[in-house]
Structure 1
Amino acid sequence: MIGLTGCATSRGLVTLNAPQHVNQSETLKHTAVIKIVEDDRHFENRPTSPSIPSLKGGLNNATEEEKARAIARKRNTYGKALGDILLREGTVSSVVQDRVISALNQAGYKVIPTSVENERKADLVVSVQINKFWSWSNLGVLSTEIETTLVNDKNTAKNIVVDTKLVRPVHVKTGQQWVENINLALDEYETKLAKELKSK
C-alpha cells in the first residue's frame, strides 16, 4: 500500500511493501534461527545532519513505540526539519526481520523458531543489529539508508554487514515518492543480504 497521511509539518503514517520472495518451503536445504532483531539506531534532538534520526516534538516527548516506528523526517527547501513519518503498523525491527527472512530463504535457509534445541541443531543462528534505517529529504533529493549487522552466533568471524543507500532527485516530494524510495532501498538491501548469505 502506498500512501502518506498528514501535511509536511505534521506526522505522516505509511505502509511499506512486504517482501516478495518469502518461501518457507520444506525443500529449503538449510535451517536458520533469528534469535533477536535489535533496533540500535541513535536519535538526536537537533542533529547536525538530516541523516541522523530525529522526531518532531523532541525525544523527551516521544515514546519508545514512536521511536520504534519512526522511519523518516520531512524538511523544507532550506533544510529545516518539519514533520516526521512513522510506520502505520509494525516497527522497524519487524520490517527488517521480514526482509532478513526473505533473504535467508533466497539463500536456501528455512527459518525456524528460536529455542535452545533449534539453536543447537540449526545450520545458522543470527542476531540482527539495526545500525541505520532512515529516510530524509534535503535540497531536492530523497535519501534512504539502511545498515544492519548479522552476528553469526556460531562463528563471529562470519558476521555480515550490509549497507545500502538510495538517493533520488525529486521536484515535489509526495507521499508516494517517500514510500517508493524506502521500498526500493529495502529491495536493494534484501538483494545484497541474500548475495552475502549465499557466499558464506
Structure 2
Amino acid sequence: MNRKSVWGALALLVLLTGCATSRSVVSIPAGEIKPAQVANGKTVYFASLTDARVFEAKPKEPNIPSLDPSESQSAEIQARAIARKRNGYGKALGDILLPADETAPALVRKSLEKAFVEQGYTVITDPTQVKPDTFVVDVAVTKMWAWMNPGFMALTLSAEVATDLKIKQAEQARSESLAVKESAQFQTGMESNWVEVVQKALAAFTEQAKQKLAQ
C-alpha cells in the first residue's frame, strides 16, 4: 500500500470513529424485567452501593477509567462516567456520562435487582421491612466502563461490568464476585453504538448473576 493510500485509510478511520472532543451524555435504557412465574417467597434488600472503580489521570490502556483533564473532575461527574471517547489513533478525547440523575453504580444495581426478581425474589426498599430471613446485599462496583479500540476498517467497542457482593441472610454470609466483558465491531463511534455495547454487557452481567443465585 502506498503512502497516499495509508493516509487515506487513516483519515477514513478518524471519520469512522465518530468521536468528538467534548463530553456527551447518554441514557442507558433499562432492560425489560421478566418476573419469575412463581415467586420463591424470598426477599432481598440492597443495604449499600459503593463505587469502587479506580480512575487514572493518564492510563496506559483504554479499559482503565479516566476523565478529560480539561473538564470537571468532581465525584458527581466520576459517578456518572461510563466511557472515554478516542480518535482513530487511540488518543483520549471527551467523556461519556450518564444523565445528572443517574450513576454507573446505580445502573449496575438495577441489573442485579433484575436478576433477583427474575429468580423469584421480591426486592424491598424499606429497611424497616427487612426480616431475619431477608437476603441483605452490599454491592461494590469495581468495573463499569466502556472503551474503543481502533481498527483498519472498523472499530471495536467493549464494555466491562464487575462487582464484589457480600450477601447476608440470618447468621450466614457469603461473598460473590461477578465479572463480564462484551465487545462488538461498529463502523462509527456514534453514541447509540456505545449504548448498545453497554446494554449488552449489562445483560450478560444479569445472566451471570442469575446463574450465581441459582447455585
Deviates more, 1:146-155 or 1:39-48: 146-155
User: Do the aligned residues in 2 keep the contact of 1:9 with 1:82 (CA within 8 Å)?
Assistant: yes
The count of aligned residue pairs is 191
For 1:186 and 1:142, the matched residues in 2 are separated by 14
For 2:196 and 2:75, the matched residues in 1 are separated by 26
Q: 36, 50, 53: which one pairs with 1:41?
A: 53
Q: 1:93: which partner in 2?
A: 105
User: Do the aligned residues in 2 keep the contact of 1:33 with 1:119 (CA within 8 Å)?
Assistant: no
Q: 1:72: which partner in 2?
A: 83
Q: Does 1:172 align with 2:188?
A: yes
Evaluate the alpha carbon distance shift between residue 8 and residue 95 of structure 1 in structure 2; reply closer, same or farther with a 3 A threshold.
same
Unaligned runs of 5+ in 1: 1-5
* CA deviation vs aligned residue, 1:91-145 (integer Å, no higher than 9, x gap): 11221121111101112211113526615341x1110110100001112210100
For 1:117 and 1:14, the matched residues in 2 are separated by 35
1:109-188 pair list within 5 angstroms: 109-115=121-127, 118=130, 120-122=132-134, 124-139=135-150, 140-154=155-169, 155-156=172-173, 158-188=174-204
Give the CA deviation at 1:153: 2.7
Q: 1:3: which partner in 2?
A: none
Q: 51, 67, 71: which one pairs with 1:55?
A: 67
RMSD over equivalenced CA pairs, Å: 2.2
User: Do the aligned residues in 1 keep the contact of 2:38 with 2:120 (CA within 8 Å)?
Assistant: no
User: Do the aligned residues in 2 keep the contact of 1:131 with 1:148 (CA within 8 Å)?
Assistant: yes
Q: 2:211: which partner in 1?
A: 195
Corresponding residue SS for 2:63:
coil
Q: Which amino acid aligns with 1:70?
A: A
For 1:188 and 1:17, the matched residues in 2 are separated by 15
Q: Is the radius of gyration larger for structure 1 or structure 2?
A: 2
User: Do the aligned residues in 2 keep the contact of 1:34 with 1:114 (CA within 8 Å)?
Assistant: no
For 1:39 and 1:119, the matched residues in 2 are separated by 27
Evaluate the alpha carbon distance shift between residue 110 and residue 117 of structure 1 in structure 2; reply closer, same or farther with a 3 A threshold.
closer
Evaluate the alpha carbon distance shift between residue 25 and residue 63 of structure 1 in structure 2; reply closer, same or farther with a 3 A threshold.
farther
TM-score, normalization: structure 2? 0.81
Evaluate the alpha carbon distance shift between residue 196 and residue 58 of structure 1 in structure 2; reply closer, same or farther with a 3 A threshold.
farther
TM-score, normalization: structure 1? 0.87
Percent of pairs with identical residues: 34
Q: Which amino acid aligns with 2:163?
A: T
Give the CA deviation at 1:26: 9.4
Corresponding residue SS for 2:43:
strand
For 1:39 and 1:105, the matched residues in 2 are separated by 23
Give the CA deviation at 1:7: 5.8
